[in-house]
C-alpha cells in the first residue's frame, strides 16, 4: 500500500488547486477582481465543491490501498489489484 499511499498526498493539492480556480472563475463571472474576498456562503460553496472534486479524483486510490493492505487476499502488485477489482 506504500505506492497508493503516496498518491493520497495529492488530495490536498487537488483540493487547493480546485478551490483557487473556482474562486478565480467565480470572481471573473461576477466581474470582480480575481482576488476579491468572498462572503461566507461563497467560501463555503467553493470549499464544498473543491472538496467533492478532490474526493472523486482520489477515492479510487483508497480502494486500491485498502485491498493491498488486506491480509486475507494476496496480490502481486498495484496493477493486479486494479485488474481484479475492475473484474
Domain boundaries, the chain: 1-34, 36-86
Residue 11, Cβ density class (10 Å: 0-12 exposed, 13-18 middle, ≥19 buried): middle
| Model confidence pLDDT, tens digit, residues 24-82 | 999 999 999 988 889 999 999 999 999 999 999 888 877 777 787 777 778 887 788 88
| Model confidence pLDDT, tens digit, residues 15-36 | 999 999 999 999 999 999 988 8
- pTM over the 0.85 mark: no
Neighbours of 81 (CB within 10 A): 21
- Residue 53's pLDDT is 94
Neighbours of 54 (CB within 10 A): 20
Amino acid at each position: 500500500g506504500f505506492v497508493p499511499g503516496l498518491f493520497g498526498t495529492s488530495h490536498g493539492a487537488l483540493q487547493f488547486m480546485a478551490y483557487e480556480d473556482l474562486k478565480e472563475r467565480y470572481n471573473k463571472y461576477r466581474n470582480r477582481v480575481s482576488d476579491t474576498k468572498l462572503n461566507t456562503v461563497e467560501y463555503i460553496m467553493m470549499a464544498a465543491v473543491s472538496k467533492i472534486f478532490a474526493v472523486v479524483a482520489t477515492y479510487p486510490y483508497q480502494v486500491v490501498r485498502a485491498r493491498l493492505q488486506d491480509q486475507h487476499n494476496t496480490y502481486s502488485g498495484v496493477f493486479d489489484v486494479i485488474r481484479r477489482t475492475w473484474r
